[in-house]
Each structure stands twice: as C-alpha cells, then as structure tokens.
Structure 1
Amino acid sequence: MKASLKKSKEPSTAFIIIDIEKKDYEQKVEDVLKSYQKSINIPGFRKGFVPKSIIKKKYEIPTIADEVNKLIQEELNLFIKKEGLEIIGGPILNEKGKIDWSDDKLSFEFELGLAPDFKVDFKTKKKIDFYKISADKKIIDDQILNYRKQYGKLISQSAIKEDFEISVSFKSDQLGIDSSGIIKLSDIKSKDACQKISVLKLGEKTSVNIENFFKDNTKAENIFKFPTEKIKTFSGEVELEIKEINQRDLAEMNQEFFDKIFGKDKIKSISEMKQKMSKEIEKDLEKQSEQKLFNDVTEFLIKEIKFELPQKFLKKWMRTTNKEKIELNQIDEEYKKSEKGIRYRLIQEKIIKDQNFSISNDEIKNYIKEMIALQSKQYGQVSPQGMELDNIVQRLMSNQDEISRISNQLMTKKTLDFFKEKAPLRSKKVTFDEFLKKAYAKA
C-alpha cells in the first residue's frame, strides 16, 4: 500500500492518492471468510460445514470492500498526520466509475480542503466593551424577597388566590397520567383552565385540557414525569384535584433567617446581608458578561482576520456529508449559513495550537469536584468527601460524552482568559437592566 500527495490547480486544495495491492488485504479477507464458514447458518448445510466456495461466492466481494475501506481510512489518517496537513472538513473520494473489487491493484483519489495560513493578533485601535455589571438596589431586593418566600411559613387556606401554592393531582387512565405537584395560577398557560381552577375549594375536582396546560416545559416535566417531546403529544381532558392550598408568609429577617442562607453567625445584620448578596450576585452576573465578551471577541476576530476558504471544496463536502440531501440550487445559501462557524473554528484551532492549550485529566477531575461542591451548596446539601467523592468523579470520568463536554468547557475558559489578556478591551460599568439592553439589542 502506498499513499502520495498530488498538487491541485487550486492552492487551497490537494489530492491524496492511495494505491492498494491484493497482498495488503488478502490474508485479512481469508480470516474473515474462515470465521463466516464456522459460524454462518445456511439452509441445507450443518453449521460449520458450509462449503468454502459458497462462502466465497456470497461474501468475498463485500468483505474485500469492507477491509479495503478500513485500510484506506487508516492510511488517510496516518498520511495526513505524517505530512502535517491541516485540513478543513474531511477527505472526499473522487469517484471514477464502478470499482472492480476483483482487481489485483486498486487506486483511490481523495480531495482535501487545505486550511489557510493566518495569524491571530489584536493590533487594532478598535476597542471591545467588557461590561462590569453592578448589583443595583432592585436586583438585591428581589433576591431578598425570593429568600423570604423560600424560607417563609406556609399558612393553610380554603380558597385560591394569585401567588398561593396549590398542591394538585392529575389523573387520566387514557393518557397514563397519575401525578401530583405544586403549582401557582401564574404557571398555567390556558386562560380557561386558570379560570376553572381559581374558583375551586380544598378537595374539589375539575377537568382541564392537558394540551399546552403549562407555560414552562420544565414545570410540565417536573409534574408529569415525562420528557417534553412526550408531553407535547398529550391531548384531551384530565382530572385535576385540589389537595392543599397554602399561602407562604414572608420570613422575618432575623438571625435565624441569616443563618439559613449563609451559615451560622456568618451574617449579623440586614446591611451585612445586602453587602454579601451584592458580591455574590455580581459574581454570578460576571458569567453573563463573560459570555457576551466571548461572543463579541469572536465576532471581532471573524471580521478582522482575513483569509480565503476553499469554497468550491467546502460546498462539495457539505453536499457529500449532509444527512439530508442538499440540492445544487440550495448549496450557496447553506454555505453562507455555515461560513461564519467554519471561520471561527479555524481561528479557535489556531489559538489553541499557538498557545499550546491542552486539557489534562487532573483539570477535568478538579472541575468535576468543583461542580459537585457547587451543586451541593445550591441544594443545601453536605458536599461529598473522601471515598464517596472519588467514586462520583471516577464514574463521571468513565463517561466519554461527559469528558468531551467538560473538556470543551475548560477549553472555552482558556480561550476566554486569552481574550481577556490580549484583546483590546474597554471596561464599562452598567446595571443589569442596562446590560440586557446592550446584550440583546437588535443589530
């Protein structure tokens, strides 16, 4: 087997020629056919005694094709790595008629899209705004109100009013629903259902149309214990019964209240609580500001860094690899939708390569431990330690999808830190409402 590189008339593409001889795959094909002969079931023959000629006639060509394809993929990957070729998309086989798999010599030609050469720098007078979001009085007061509701006492009521917590059950044999949960009138999307429920007393029942009952999909999932896709198929009447009606009295802002939120004796007064909340809120809001910064720097780099893409190749590659067939008259539009993403991926890969960014197992483990501690705190639970923590980390480390997700997040964090250090930033202090107007302003 031999692989060679052939130049293209276009500077942004090239060709890899792979020549394969019969000796490269015949032993492997022979081994596969022998295993078939031992295990295959064909009517009229005992298992393990099917004549070799029948096996060969039926399975030889498909087996050759399968083994040759494996060799091609191996050789392509090795050759691209050995030659240091930086490619866009993936190799495309140039089909030259029907392949005769019985030939002693086979030749395959693959077209490659070559990644452009460019530099990532921030040598510009343009400035990118980095928003520092301050926690204003309104956002702090809203947070305090939420805590007072959360830790307030429940007072039983006989009639329903706005903002009361209503414990209800839903039943329908036809839809397989038998669930219960706590709702408020404000959770309900249907005006008709809301009106029906608002006049009910404790223990009373009514029928409601389940279709689009809740405003929020997450609320529906939590109540019905079905995924959103399943819930969207629900249609018809279900029985709803009022089990409890409660008014949540606001908690007093005393030492017991402070201890529940921040820990025993950590906060002694309302002013201390507000200062602490202000810092915590601003830390949380910083994540939103950083996400906007990341998006803005990304847009900046895409506009500022100029390089040519192998458009003709990429359009061909998109048509070849897309699961849903793209017609010729649609390809230009599809390419326009994808071009910005392609350009950013190339820029990100260049940054990662130039800065020697990598993600170690220890970084992934530490990230998992931090997330476990954070989630435990959010739910008011004691964070696992020692062997229990190690077992959770080990379980997550064995999940490749989870590892990939965490690695991507860590790489995004390293890229963000690079942006903060190198990009021409201008710090701007804003309130949360001002930030929202900036972040979601129409272009």
Structure 2
Amino acid sequence: MAADLPGDRNSAEMMAECAEDLATHGHTADALEWFSRIVEGGEPELGPHAALRIAGLLVDDDLEAAQAALRYAADNGTGDVAEIAADNLSILAEHEVPTRTEPATLEEVVGRTAIARVLLLSAEGDAGAVAEVLQQAAECPVPDIAAAAAFELGNLLEDNGDLAGAQTAYRQAAELRRPRVSGQAAINLGLVLSKQMDVRGAHAAYSLAVEVGDPDDVAKGNGLLEQLAALGDLDEVHARAQQLDLTDPDLVGGSAVAAGEQYLGDGDLQSALRAFEKAMDTGHPVHAPEGAAWVAAAFYQVEGMHGAEAAIGRLAEIGRADLTPRAWFMFGCRLVNGGNFKDGEKAWKRPVGDARAAAECGRQVVRGKTAKAEAAFEEVLTVTPDLAGHLGGMTLQVGDLHTGSRAKATYELALRFGERSELPWLIEEARASLTR
C-alpha cells in the first residue's frame, strides 16, 4: 500500500522505515529499491534524505551513482541532509576524486540506483529480478542510463536464448546513440541479426556502430562490414541466407565458434565465452567440443587443468558426455598450438572414446615420430575423419614452433596428412610453409 502513494509523507515514512530495516540486516539491494521509491515519489524532505542514504550504500560499489545521489541531496535537501551531502562531496574532492558539480535529477538518481541494484542482484543469482530491474531502468528518461540498461538487458536475454528480445533491447541501446554503449550495442545487434540470417539488417547495424561508436567499436564495425562485403552482393547473400535452416546444429555451432573466435580477436572474452557456450549447446560432434575446448583454454589460464576439467565437464551436464574425449583432444591442440607441449600431452591422455587415435597421433607429432604419427592418422581417417583437419592445423603449428630440419619434416608430415585426408586448404598451407 505504501508504494502506491509515492508522494505522500506518511507513505514515504513507512517506506523509509522498511528500507532502514532492510539495510540494517544486510539486504542492500532491497533497501536501495525502497529508498529509490522515496526519491521517485518526490517527497520534498524525505526524498533528499533517501538519496543521501542511497549514496552511503553505494559509495564503495558505484561511485558514479553515489555522487549523483549526493548531488541531488545537496541541492534539494535542507538542514543536515544538504550539509552532510555537500561535506561528502568535498571529502571526495580532497581525495582527488573527480567530483560532480552539475545538478542531478531524481530520475537520474532512480535510474543509476537501478543499475547498481542489477550488480547486487546478479551476485545473488536472481536472474528474474535482474531482468525486471533492467526493463524498468531501460525506460529511464536519462538517455545514458536507458542505453546502459537496454544494453545489459540485451546481453541477459541473448544469454537466455531470447534472440528476439535481445534484438529489441540492443536496438534501443544503439539508437539512443550514447558514446559509452551504443556502438557495442549496434555490433551485438548485428551479430544477433546475423544469427537470424538477416544480412541486410546486420549490415545496417554494423554501419550504425561505425557512426555512433568509440574508436574500438568503429574498428570492429568496419571489420564486420568488410567480412560482409567479401561475401558478395548484399541482396544476393541475404536471399541465400533466408533459405538456410537456422536449426541446423552444424550451421549454428559453426557460426557460434566463428563468432567466439572473432570476439577473442577483439579482446571481448565474455562475449566469446557466451558464443562458445552456444556452440556446446548444439551438441554437434565437432562444434560442441570445439566450443568446450575454447572455454577450457580460457579457464585453464586462471585455474590450470582443474579449470579446463570444469569447462569440459559441462558437456556431460548437458547430456553429451560422449563428446568429452573430443573436447580434451581439441583442448590439447589449443595448448600445443601455443607451445605448451607438456600440458598438451597431459590433455591428450584423457580421451578414451573415439578421439583416442587423434590424441595418439597428436602425441607422436609433438615427439617428432612421423612414422607412428602417420600410422595413427590412418586410424583417425577410419574412425574420426572429421578430426583430421584439427590434426593437420596443429601439425602446421608445431612446424612453426621448430626450425631447420625438424620444421621441414613436420611440414612434410602436414602435407601428407592433407593429401591423405583430401583437404585442399591443408595441402596449400603445408606447401606454402615448405617454400618459406
């Protein structure tokens, strides 16, 4: 009932009492919601006081939101509230923190508080509440806040598989043309549209990213536009794309892996991990373990083999334990490609399923045992021919890590792998390596 009377003094007092109790018991996100409602209600005395309390709760977690709340309290409060808020701003300035001087509206305080609540609710794992708060914040009349909320909402919806909802949210964030997020939102919009085979829409989104984004977004947008241009006439490509089966695991998985690799190249690890997770979810016999291997490589950087094991173990969690041997094989290839032969061989000891021959072939390549490697490769062609390309690419990388006769012998081995597996790209690259 109190929340239905936002501007009423008695209602505001009831909400303030509730908020203080929540804050005392450590329920910060809920306390912020009630204090925010008081500010939004516009009660002339308790509103600024609630803003001051918001600042106190957020000063260690979101200084920008805290400063907006302090500015509002200092400019609109009276007596002790205004004085304390002004003093806190002065203290920040004394500590060489850039201090806000421009006024803050109650709408901004409410919006920034909502964004701060999202971080707290995310830490609590309350995805439903996060989505609800982001949807509310996306309606904020302050463009910077609305764009930031819409962008985060798009990320959340995309992670949950709601591409239509993500598209709407990204479009809103992009069209608000805010320097901080609109460029990245436009790029994400283009990638979502690409997944839906809307090539023309993706082209328009990437063009918008170039127009409104920061220098990094402009570079990414131009790179993606160049990739589209390389496909040929836009209308023809769009027409062909519309005929594709968007439920095909090969298409979805391959596209997800390619997108993840693109994100990694751009330094966007979180988006890359989301893409690789999507590849895993397809259950495709090549792309799903590829996605798992990439995630394992990322986790390995932080937690070593335990991290890799957790990443690859997710295949079992989604009912595809049969693909874990392939993921271990591909993860081993990732390590070897980076020059980590020791742990690469450790990873290759794990496969016990259909990737056993591929792992054995990899071990012999690394050890320079070409005859044994070729014998194992013959078994690969019989049992798992779809892994031949991974072995060929890894063999080329091993050659690059050596010099002289060892490098030449490895490139020659890669060439024979290419000829036996009839992979033109491998034959071409091996020959090019031999002539360098």
**TM class, shorter-chain normalised?**
under 0.3
Flag the structure with larger Rg: 1
User: Hey, which of these two has a bigger chunk of helix by percent?
Assistant: 2
TM-score w.r.t. length of structure 2: 0.22
TM-score w.r.t. length of structure 1: 0.22
Higher RCO (Cα < 8 Å, 6 or more apart): 1
